């Protein structure tokens, strides 16, 4: 998996999972709450594994916008 796909899944999963969990929490219904938590956990886990610089394999910070250059090795990210 390339890092761009991983980033999309990571951010999308956190949004979808977060919304589901919030709905479940506020409406006090368990299934969406747990589904949301599981989705967020999966998104974070795969991000941890795959959202890395393609040059130096260093993990990147997903809280920021995708950088144009790796903050670690300066390699170009497209
Ligand atoms: Zn790098």
Question: 57 C-alpha to center of ligand 1: Å?
Answer: 6
Q: How far apart are the C-alpha atoms of 31 and 67, rounded to whole Å?
A: 36
What pLDDT is attached to residue 26?
Answer: 98
Q: How far apart are the C-alpha atoms of 64 and 34, rounded to whole Å?
A: 27
Question: 64 C-alpha to center of ligand 1: Å?
Answer: 16
Q: Which helix (H) or strand (E) holds 27?
A: helix 3-27
- Asked if 17 and 40 count as a contact pair (C-beta separation under 8 A), the reply is yes
18-59 pLDDT, tens digit per residue, is 999 999 999 999 999 999 999 999 999 999 999 999 999 999
What pLDDT is attached to residue 4?
Answer: 92
Confidence of residue 14 (pLDDT cuts 50, 70, 90): very high
52-77 pLDDT, tens digit per residue, is 999 999 998 877 777 899 989 999 99
Question: 49 C-alpha to center of ligand 1: Å?
Answer: 15
């Amino acid at each position: 998996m390339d890092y761009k796909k991983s980033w999309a899944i990571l951010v999308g999963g956190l949004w979808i999972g977060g919304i589901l969990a919030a709905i479940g929490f506020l409406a006090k219904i368990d299934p969406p709450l747990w589904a949301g938590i599981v989705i967020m956990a999966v998104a974070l886990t795969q991000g941890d594994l795959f959202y890395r610089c393609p040059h130096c394999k260093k993990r990147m910070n997903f809280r920021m916008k995708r950088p144009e250059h790796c903050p670690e090795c300066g390699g170009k990210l497209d």
